[in-house]
Structure formats: C-alpha cells, structure tokens
Amino acid sequence: MVIADSSNAKFEQSIQTLIENLKETQLLALPNGSIFGNQTDEQGRAWELILNRPDVSQAIDDHLKADRLIIGSRSAFSALIRTGLIEFGQVTGHSAIRVLPNKNGKFVSDLTTGRVVSEKSAFSTGRADKTYTAPLATAFGRVVLGEAAEKIKANGQAIAAFDTYFAEENIDGLASPNGLVFGTISSFERNGQDLYQNVPSQGENPFLTEAFAYLNAK
C-alpha cells in the first residue's frame, strides 16, 4: 500500500488502511525511502512518526502478539531502531541504538559481503555463517549499539554483519529479542539470481526465504 501525504485527509485514510491491513498481514515490509522522511542528520523520520502513533503502535503490538513478522531496510531499519522495536520488541519511542552517517561523510554505493552471525530470528533460522552479496546504497551505514551493546550481543540480536566495511560493529542486520522484527543496512530486497553481472557474487541473502518458511510452517 501507499502512504499518501498530499493532504491531511489522505494521510489519515492511509493510516487507517494500514491499521486494517495489519489485521490480515503476516509480514509487514517497510521500504527504504530517502525522500520520505530523511533529514540531514538522520533517516526514517517519517516512518518513526507513523510507528509511534498510539493507534499504529497498538496495531503493531497486536501484529507481533500473533507471531507475525516485520522487516525494514535502510531508512525503515532506522525507524524500527528508534521506535524501540529492534531493541525491545515493542514500540517504546526510544532506543540506545543509533544509525549514524558514514565516517567519511560520503554516500556509499557498492556491493560487499555480508554474513549471517546469529540464527536467533525467523529471518535467519538455520543459516549461521551463510555469506551473501550485500548491496549498499546509503549515507548512514554505521550501527552503534551504545549502552545496549552487552544486551544485544548476549541475546544474539546481531543477526548479520559485513565481513569488512564499516567501523564499530560492522553490523548489517539486527533483530528484536523474539526475532520477529528485523532490519538491515544493506538493501536486502535488491536480491536475485543473476541480478548482478561481471562482479563476484557471494550468493543471495536468506532473509525473506527464511521468513516465508517460518510463516508457511505456522
């Protein structure tokens, strides 16, 4: 569905449609969108505002209580983090985790290697140590865990990492404590057999494949 924001009325109708659709949706996939809410020092601001709305956060809570899934890439991943969905598994409106601009201040567009480092998510079951080609197109590539670092590592919530790329933790993907909410720095949706030509491939990422397997097994 599309979030229409050309008028207040259309925006509110979009929100109500989102809430109604969540009652029947097994997997909520939030897309990246730099135009829709990015600011100079942060990204995903619009998704953050939407998810923090009481009516939407209640619908999200009901969605997760039914053991359904949420995934987001890039700016949507930032919103999942800042709302608390990644760190706590519910909308709290805050998080110690941050996604920061690249240290060189530049936009990165590249293909690098990602690796699954934890199976503690519906998006990574049985895929420990699986490598994949990770498409990057972002000015915000550094995930900093801050005061949540010890907890995130102990819980196995750091699901995927870049083999070598960014400083700090080299994190590509994080999941919520129950593994139902997941997001990535890389564009997991830019994935497919023979999609990239004349470059070395580490294979496709397993995230949606494992999510569908989880949902089909329910």
pLDDT (tens digit, 9 = 90+) per residue, 170-186? 999 999 999 999 999 99
pLDDT at 168: 64
- Cβ(70)–Cβ(121) below 8 Å: no
Chain Cα centroid distance, residue 176: 10
pLDDT at 62: 98
pLDDT at 155: 97
pLDDT (tens digit, 9 = 90+) per residue, 69-84? 999 999 999 999 999 9
pLDDT at 36: 53
- Cβ(37)–Cβ(46) below 8 Å: yes
| pLDDT tops 90 at residue 209 | yes
φ/ψ of 77, rounded to 5, equals -60, -45
Average pLDDT value for residue range 16-22? 97
pLDDT (tens digit, 9 = 90+) per residue, 100-147? 988 888 888 999 999 999 999 999 999 999 999 999 988 889 999 999
pLDDT (tens digit, 9 = 90+) per residue, 26-44? 999 998 876 555 555 568 8
pLDDT at 51: 96
Average pLDDT value for residue range 9-35? 91
pLDDT (tens digit, 9 = 90+) per residue, 2-11? 888 889 999 9
CA atoms within 13 A on the CB side of 26: 10
pLDDT at 166: 62
pLDDT (tens digit, 9 = 90+) per residue, 37-64? 555 556 888 899 999 999 999 999 999 9
CA atoms within 13 A on the CB side of 64: 21
Q: Quote the pTM value.
A: 0.93
Determine how β-strand 142-144 pairs with β-strand 27-30: unpaired
